[in-house]
Amino acid sequence: MDTNRGAPTPPIAFGRTAPVTARLTAPAIGVDEALLDRLRGSCADVTTDDTALDETSRDWWPLAMIWALDDEVAARAAVVARPGTVDEVAAVLGVCNEARVPVTAAAGRSGVCGASVPLHGGVVLDCCGLAGIVAVDQASMVVDVRAGTFGDVLEDELRDSHGLTAGHWPQSVELSTVGGWLACRGAGQYSTRYGKIEDIVVGLDVVLADGRVVSTGGAPRQAVGPDLTQVFVGSEGTLGVITGARLRCHPVPPTERRVAFGFPSFVAGLDACRRILHRGATPAVLRLYDDIEGQRNFETGAGVHPLLVLDEGDGRLVDAVMQVVTEECTGDGAPLDGDALLTRWLDHRNDVSALQALITRGYVVDTMEIAARWHDLPAIYDAATAAIRGVEHTVVASAHQSHSYPDGACLYFTFGGQPPADERDAYYRAAWDAGTRAVLERGGALSHHHGVGLNRSRFMRDALGVGLDVLAAVKAALDPNGILNPGKLGLPSPYGPSPAWP
Ligand SMILES: Cc1cc2nc3c(=O)[nH]c(=O)nc-3n(C[C@H](O)[C@H](O)[C@H](O)COP(=O)(O)OP(=O)(O)OC[C@H]3O[C@@H](n4cnc5c(N)ncnc54)[C@H](O)[C@@H]3O)c2cc1C
C-alpha cells in the first residue's frame, strides 16, 4: 500500500475534469466571514482552500470512491480546522456550538462507511495534528497517546523505544489513527489474542460539544457508575471529540508459531474455531476462509476452506495454544503448509490496490462485517451470501471468519457486482439491503468493527430498537444543539434528515 506516513492517504484519485462538488443534497451550513474570523481566533490552522476541503471531506467509503471518478464527494465542508492542542479543539467547539454550526471530526479518513463525511457542511475538525505518545507507564504497560497518532507510528515507537506493542493491527494500520479506532470500535487482525479496541482502552480524554474536557477511566477496572469510557467508544464523533487515550500494551512477543488446515466445508471450519475458543485457546490470528476466498487468496483449490492460525507471546503459552488448535483441527481438517500460507497472508494483508483497480474498471465492491453467536453463524453465512448473490448484477459474494470469541465470531463478507454505469448506486444499495436484512433477521449485529457512519444509518432502528432512543437521549444530553457529526448513527439531526441515496 502506497501510504503517506503519519498523514491520511487519499482513497482514489479524483477524475479532475471538473471542480469537486457534493453528490448528496443534504442542507449544507456555510460559514460567514465573521464566524471564520472567530474560528481563526480559536485555532492557528484554519483553511478554506479548495484542495483541502475536497480531500478532508471524504473517506474510503467505496460508493463515494466511485463518485470521486466523476469529481464528486458525498458532501463538502465549508472550513477545515486543524487543531494542534486540546485547547484549540475546545475553542473551535465552543465557537461552533454557540453559532450552531456542524463539526465533523476526521482523522485518517480511512473509514469505509462515510462516517467522517461532513454531511451538513460546516467545519471539518482534522484531528491529525493531535499526534504523538505523551507517556508510557512501563510498569503497568499502559501508553498515554494523543488521538491523531497513526497506527504504524504508534507501533514503531512503542516497539523501538519501549519494547511494547498495543497488539492492534487493523488492515488500515497505516491509514488510521487511535481516535478513529476508538470512535469506530475497531478491530485488529490479531484481536483474538489482544481484543478489540474497546478491550484495549483504559481511559479517554474527550472534548464535549460545549468545549468542556472530560477524562474517563484510568484504573484497570472500577465500579464507579457506568463505564463512561465506553459511552464514547463507538460514538463516531457524535458525542465528543477524543483527544487522548490510555491503551493497554504487551511486551513485544518473543515467540511466534504458524499452522494451517483445510476443511471440507465452511461450517466444519467454524465448528473447529468454536471448539478452540471453548477450550480457552486464543490464537492471535484465527482466520477461516470459504472456498471462494481460499482459492482467490491462497489458491488452495476447489472445495477447500483454509483456516490460518498464528499465535505469538510467551513460548510456553503459544505452544499450549497451538497444541489445542492442532487437536481440534485434526480429523475434520487436513494439514496445509502453515508457514507458506501465513507468509503469503502477512506479505499481502494490507495491500488494497485491487480495490482502486476494480472501481476504476466499473465494478461495485464492498465488504460487510458482522458479528453473531456460533449458533447462528452457519445460517447467517448461507443466507447473506445467497441474498447478495440474488441481487441482479452480483458477480461474487464470499466470506471469511476473522475475529473469534467464546460465544461467537465476526464474519467478513466481500461482494462485487458489475451493473450498468447508471445503476451503480442502486445496485450498491440493493446489495447492502439484502445482505443486512439476512444478518439482522438471524440475530447478527449490524457491524463488528467498521461502524455505522452514513451507509448503515438506515438500519439503526432495526438493529437497536428502543436502544436507538436511548442513544438519542444520550446525544441530546451531551450535544443539545446537535452540532457533532450530524446525520450519522441514525440519530436525529437539527439540520434535516439524511438524504436518500441513490
Ligand atoms: C483498506 C482498509 C482496511 C481497513 N481495515 C480495518 C480493520 O482491519 N479493522 C478496522 O477496525 N477497521 C478497518 N478499516 C476501517 C477504518 O480504517 C477504521 O474504521 C478506522 O478506525 C478509522 O480511523 P480513522 O482515523 O481513519 O478515522 P476517520 O475515517 O477519519 O473517522 C472515522 C469516524 O471516527 C470519527 N473520529 C475520528 N477521529 C475522531 C476523534 N479524535 N474523536 C472523535 N471522533 C473521531 C469520525 O468523525 C468518523 O465518524 C479499514 C479501512 C480501509 C480503507
The per-residue pLDDT for range 410-422, each reduced to its tens digit, is 999 999 999 999 9
Q: Which of 46-50, 427-431, 496-500 has the lowest mean pLDDT?
A: 496-500
Please state the rounded mean pLDDT for residues 152-161.
98
User: pLDDT tens, 171-197?
Assistant: 999 999 999 999 999 999 999 999 999
Residues 104, 483 contacting (CB under 8 angstroms): no
CB of 346 closer than 8 Å to CB of 404: no
Ligand 1 atom 45 nearest Cα: 237
What digits encode the pLDDT tens for the residues 84-132? Answer: 999 999 999 999 999 999 999 999 999 999 999 999 999 999 999 999 9
From the alpha carbon of 488, which atom of ligand 1 is closest? 49
Does 500 score more than 80 pLDDT? Answer: no
Q: How confident is the model at residue 1 (pLDDT cuts 50, 70, 90)?
A: low
Cell of 271: 465448528
Degrees to nearest 5, angle at CA 419 with 414 and 423? 115
Contact 80, 26 (CB under 8 A): no
Give Cβ neighbours of residue 151 (< 8 Å, ≥ 6 apart). Answer: 168, 169, 170, 172, 173, 174, 175, 176, 177, 178, 181
The C-alpha atoms of residue 472 and residue 489 are separated, in whole angstroms, by 10
Helix (H) or strand (E) holding 79: strand 79-81
Q: Taking the CB of residue 144, how many other CB atoms lie within 10 A of it?
A: 17
Mutation pick for ligand 1 pocket among 57, 86, 116 (CB with most ligand atoms within 8 Å): 116
Task: State yes or no: pLDDT of 350 exceeds 90.
Answer: no
Question: 440: CA distance to ligand 1 center in Å?
Answer: 23
Please, is 326 exposed, middle or buried when counting C-beta atoms within 10 Å of its C-beta (0-12, 13-18, 19+)? middle
Q: How do strand 142-146 and strand 250-251 relate by DSSP bridges?
A: unpaired
Query: Which residues pair with residue 313 across a beta bridge?
Result: 255
Report the atom number in ligand 1 closest to the C-alpha of 237. Answer: 44
Percent of the chain whose pLDDT exceeds 90: 95
Phi, then psi, of 241 in degrees rounded to 5: -105, 120
DSSP state letter for 330: B
Centre of ligand 1 from the C-alpha of residue 197, in Å = 12
**Cβ atoms 39, 123 nearer than 8 A:** yes
**Binding pocket residue ranges, ligand 1, CB within 6 Å:** 59-60, 104-112, 115-116, 127, 147, 170-172, 175-177, 179-181, 183-184, 186-187, 189, 236-237, 241-242, 352, 449-451, 485
Beta-sheet pairing, 285-289 with 394-405: antiparallel
For the chain, the straight-line distance linking the first and the last C-alpha, in angstroms and rounded, comes to 31
Average pLDDT estimate for 322-337: 97
Neighbours of 405 (CB within 10 A): 17
pLDDT at 356: 87
Residue of 498 and 390 predicted with greater confidence: 390
Per-residue pLDDT at 501 exceeds 80: no
* Separation of CA 438 and ligand 1 centre (Å): 25
pLDDT band at 459 (very low <50, low <70, confident <90, very high): very high
- Say what angle helices 315-329 and 266-278 make with each other, to 10 degrees: 140
CA-closest candidate to residue 125, choices 73, 75, 82, 74: 82
Phi/psi at 333 (5° precision)? -100, 150
pLDDT of residue 445: 98
